Amino acid sequence: DSKRSQSSRGEEEELISTLHKRQGLNSFNLNLVKYQGFWYADMSLVATTISAQRHFQAQRSDIFVCTAPKTGTTWLKALAFAIVSRTAVDGDSTADPFVSKSPHECLPALEYAETFAPFHRDPRNPLIATHVPFSSLPKSASDSSGCKIVYICRDPKDTFVSMYHFFAKLAASRNMEPVPLNKAFEFFCEGASSFGPYWDHVLGYWKASLYQPDRILFLKYEDMKENTAFHVRKLAEFIGYGFTLEEEGNRVVEKIVRMCSFDHLSNLEVNKNGKIAENTPWEMENKLYFRKGTVNDWENHLTPEMAAHMDLITEKKLSGSGLNL
Ligand code: A3P
C-alpha cells in the first residue's frame, strides 16, 4: 500500500511539474498554476485537488458548498451552517455559532484537507466547502446521484472589484506591493485569477445545475441580497433541512438571516480581530472577508469603459447558456 501511495505521489509530482504557470491576480504575488483548464493559487492546492480526485469518496449525506472566490462564500457558508446546525424548534434554538468562529472555520474545505483516507467528517455537519470547478470535482461528487451541491455566483464586475480589494489588502498586510487596478483588471479579464477563468467556473456549475436540478442549486448573490429570507427557505428545503411551521412561527428564518448578515458578522469581535488558518501559509485576517457586502459597488471603482469591456466578455462567454449575469 505504501509503495502504491509513494508511486502515486511521484506521479502527482511529475504531473504538477509540467503544468503551465503565469502571473495573475493571486495571493502574495505567487504564480498561478493551470490545472484542467483553471488557475490555482499554487502547487499545493493542485496537489490536494488531484489527491481529492483520486481518493475522496462522496457520501449521499454530503452537501457541497461550491463557490468561486469573492462571490459570497463567507455568506453562503454562514447560511448553510446556520441552517444545518440549528438544534431544535423552540425560538431560542438559533444560538449564534459565529460569535466564536469565522464561517470559514465551520466547514471543512476539500482542497485544504490533510488527508482523504479517510476524509474527516463531523457527523453533525454534512457541509464541505470548495472552490474547485465542477469539472475538476472528484467524480463521486460530480456524478453521484446522492450528495447535494449548492453554488453561488455574482456579477463579474463586483466579483473582480471584491477580489482586487482583497488581494490589495492582503499585500498591504504583508508589506508587499499590491497589483495596480488596471493590471488586476487585465489579469481577471484574461481569466488569470485564482480559480479563474471566473466565467468558466460559473458556467461549469450552471450547466451542471441544468442537467441535475434536483442535486445542484444555483444561486445568485444579487438575488440573495434582494430577498434573503426567500433564498434561505429555498436553500434549507433543497438540502433537506426545511423549516417546520413551528420554526416559521418562531421566526427562525429571520433570525438566521440576521445572524448571517454582513452587519452582524462583520461587527463580531472574532471577525474584526481574529484570523483563520493561523500559523499556516494560508493564514488570513477574518476582516479581509468583509468589505462592503453590497451590489454594484463596481460603479465606484471601474470606468464606464472597463465596465463595458467586462460586460462584453460576459455576454460572449455566457451566450446561449441561458444564464444572465
Ligand atoms: P465585497 O468585497 O464586494 O464587499 P467571499 O466570501 O467569497 O470571499 O466574498 C467576499 C465578498 O462577500 C465581499 O464582497 C464581502 O464583503 C461579502 N460578504 C461577506 N460576508 C457577507 C454577508 N454576510 N452578506 C453579504 N455579503 C458578504
Nearest CA to ligand 1 atom 24: 262
Q: What is the pLDDT of residues 143-168, one digit of tens each?
A: 976 899 999 999 999 999 999 999 99
Nearest CA to ligand 1 atom 26: 293
Instruction: Using most ligand atoms within 8 A of CB, pick from 151, 264, 290 the residue to mutate for ligand 1.
Output: 290
Confidence at residue 94, expressed as pLDDT on a 0 to 100 scale: 54
**Is residue 103 within 6 Å of ligand 1 at its C-beta?**
no
Backbone angles phi and psi of 324, in degrees to 5: -115, 135
Strand 127-130 vs strand 63-67: parallel, antiparallel, or unpaired?
A: parallel
Q: Is 6 exposed, middle or buried (0-12, 13-18, 19+ CB in 10 A)?
A: exposed
Whether 131 is catalytic is yes
Nearby residues of 55 by Cβ (< 8 Å), 6 or more positions away: 116, 117
Q: Is 133 exposed, middle or buried (0-12, 13-18, 19+ CB in 10 A)?
A: buried
Nearby residues of 211 by Cβ (< 8 Å), 6 or more positions away: none
Instruction: Using most ligand atoms within 8 A of CB, pick from 75, 102, 297 the residue to mutate for ligand 1.
Output: 75
Question: How much distance in Å is there from the Cα of 169 to the middle of ligand 1?
Answer: 14
- Looking at every residue in the chain, the average pLDDT score rounds to 92
Reported confidence tier of residue 5, pLDDT bands at 50, 70, 90: low
Q: What is the pLDDT of residues 178-234, one digit of tens each?
A: 999 999 999 999 999 999 999 999 999 999 999 999 999 999 999 999 999 999 999
Indicate the DSSP class of residue 31: P
Q: In which residue are the cell numbers 472566490 written?
A: 69
Determine which helix (DSSP H) or strand (DSSP E) holds 30, and give its type and residue range: none
Instruction: Using most ligand atoms within 8 A of CB, pick from 25, 66, 70 the residue to mutate for ligand 1.
Output: 70
What does the DSSP assignment read for 139-161? Answer: HHHHH-SSSEEEEEE--HHHHHH
Nearest CA to ligand 1 atom 25: 293
Reported confidence tier of residue 2, pLDDT bands at 50, 70, 90: low
Q: What is the pLDDT of residues 68-105, one digit of tens each?
A: 999 999 999 999 999 999 974 344 545 789 999 999 99
Question: How much distance in Å is there from the Cα of 75 to the middle of ligand 1?
Answer: 7
The pLDDT > 90 percentage for the chain reads 81
Amino acid at 186: E
Reported confidence tier of residue 118, pLDDT bands at 50, 70, 90: confident
If you average pLDDT over residues 230-248, what whole number do you get?
97
Atom of ligand 1 nearest to the CA of 166: 2
End-to-end CA distance of the chain: 48
Q: Specify the pTM.
A: 0.95
